[in-house]
């Protein structure tokens, strides 16, 4: 992540851009997973009780706005990549430039509400019956249920409370900001979950579909009365 008012010389800018673009691509992948999870949960909610998907629709609209912010930042970064090579500055305020450029881009780039239209289409009807989601099972269990881990070992938040749940190659889930900071500039690190022996590679981290679907179902009120429910990672 950028540090506020950080001064960079031109030779550092390209590396900074590439790092941030990588982060944005991961964030966009998370948003795509969230949209998919919301569509499935919204459809299931409507099958149980017509109109009950309304809270999820609000969340999908908010995600569209968040996606727009990522689009604006990515375009700002692309423009910076073309422009900075022509400059002969001794220092460059990266964050100030991106903030200004994002504002300019946002004025001409409309919010893409296609995911919201897809959500509306999904809740109007589909062929997925409640309980047909082969990737997610909700069970009442103990503290851990069948999860690889019940909490992020770094933020100590319950998985269903994570803002951006990322899953490693073995199915362990973490808060995105926490695990990315933990890995830092390394390519891989020892898994922070006690008793594990595998390594966590930044490139292999992906949004946790299982946790996102559980969060979406709860948002739609499908898991009321199952406060200790957990999703089963494969």
In this predicted model, what pLDDT tens digit does every residue of 8-44 receive, in sequence order?
A: 555 577 788 888 888 888 888 888 888 988 898 888 8
Angle of helix 94-106 versus helix 54-83 axis, rounded to 10 = 120
**Same domain, residue pair 89 and 69:** yes
Total structural domains within the chain: 2
176 located within any domain = yes
Those residues with Cβ within 8 angstroms of residue 12's Cβ, 6 or more apart along the chain or in another chain: none
pTM score above 0.75: no
Q: Quick check: 192 pLDDT over 90? A: yes
**Same domain, residue pair 85 and 186:** no
The single residue listed with the structure tokens 């100590």 is 156
The gap between the terminal CA atoms of the chain, to the nearest Å, is: 31
Task: Look at residues 132, 156, 173 and tell me which one is the last residue of a structural domain.
Answer: 132
Structure tokens at 184: 């830092």
Domain extent, residue 127, equals: 1-132
**Same domain, residue pair 154 and 206:** yes
**Same domain, residue pair 109 and 204:** no
CA distance 16 to 134: 40
Q: Quick check: 126 pLDDT over 90? A: no
121 located within any domain = yes
233 located within any domain = no
**Same domain, residue pair 141 and 201:** yes
> Which tens digit of pLDDT belongs to each residue from 62-111?
999 999 999 999 888 888 877 776 565 556 778 888 899 999 999 888 98
- From residue 14, alpha-carbon distances to 1, 11, 83, 155 in Å are 14, 7, 11, 31
Query: What is the β-pairing status of strands 206-207 and 188-190?
Result: unpaired
Structure tokens at 8: 């960079």
**Same domain, residue pair 123 and 20:** yes
**Same domain, residue pair 152 and 168:** yes
Q: Quick check: 231 pLDDT over 50? A: no
9 located within any domain = yes
Q: Considering only CA atoms, which of 151, 174, 208, 176 is closest in space to residue 36? A: 208
Reduced to 3 DSSP states, what percent helix, strand and coil does the chain have, rounded to the nearest 5? 50, 10, 35
**Same domain, residue pair 27 and 1:** yes
**Same domain, residue pair 125 and 149:** no
For residues 93 and 7, the answer to whether their CB atoms sit within 8 Å is yes
Helix (H) or strand (E) holding 206: strand 206-207
Give me the residues paired with residue 173 across strands: 167
Give me the residues paired with residue 151 across strands: 158
In the Cβ-directed half-sphere of 116, how many Cα atoms lie within 13 Å?
17
What b-and-e string marks burial along 42-77, b requiring 16 or more CB atoms within 10 Å of the CB? bbbbbbeeeebbeebbebbeebbebbbebbbbbbbb
- From residue 212, alpha-carbon distances to 98, 137, 218 in Å are 30, 12, 10
| pLDDT value at residue 27 | 87
**Same domain, residue pair 78 and 161:** no
**Same domain, residue pair 96 and 147:** no
**Same domain, residue pair 151 and 104:** no
């Amino acid at each position: 992540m950028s540090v506020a008012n950080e001064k960079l010389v031109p030779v550092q800018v390209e590396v900074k851009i590439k790092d941030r673009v990588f982060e944005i691509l991961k964030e966009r992948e998370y948003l795509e997973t969230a949209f998919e999870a919301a569509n499935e949960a919204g459809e299931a909610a409507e099958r149980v009780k017509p109109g009950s998907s309304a809270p999820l629709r609000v969340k999908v609209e908010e995600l569209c706005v968040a996606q727009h912010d990522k689009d604006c930042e990515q375009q700002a970064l692309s423009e910076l990549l073309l422009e900075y090579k022509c400059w002969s500055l001794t220092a460059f305020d990266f964050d100030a430039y991106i903030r200004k450029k994002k504002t300019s881009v946002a004025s001409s780039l409309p919010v893409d509400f296609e995911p919201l239209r897809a959500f509306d289409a999904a809740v109007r009807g589909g062929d997925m019956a409640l309980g047909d989601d082969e990737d997610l099972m909700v069970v009442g269990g103990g503290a851990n249920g069948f999860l690889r881990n019940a909490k992020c070992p770094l933020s100590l938040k319950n998985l269903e409370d994570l803002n951006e749940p990322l899953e490693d190659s073995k199915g362990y889930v973490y808060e995105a900001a926490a695990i990315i900071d933990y890995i830092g500039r390394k390519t891989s690190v020892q898994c922070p979950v006690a008793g594990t022996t595998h390594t966590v590679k930044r490139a292999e981290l992906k949004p946790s579909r299982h946790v996102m679907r559980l969060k979406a179902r709860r948002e739609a009120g499908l898991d009321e009365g199952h406060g200790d429910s957990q999703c089963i990672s494969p």
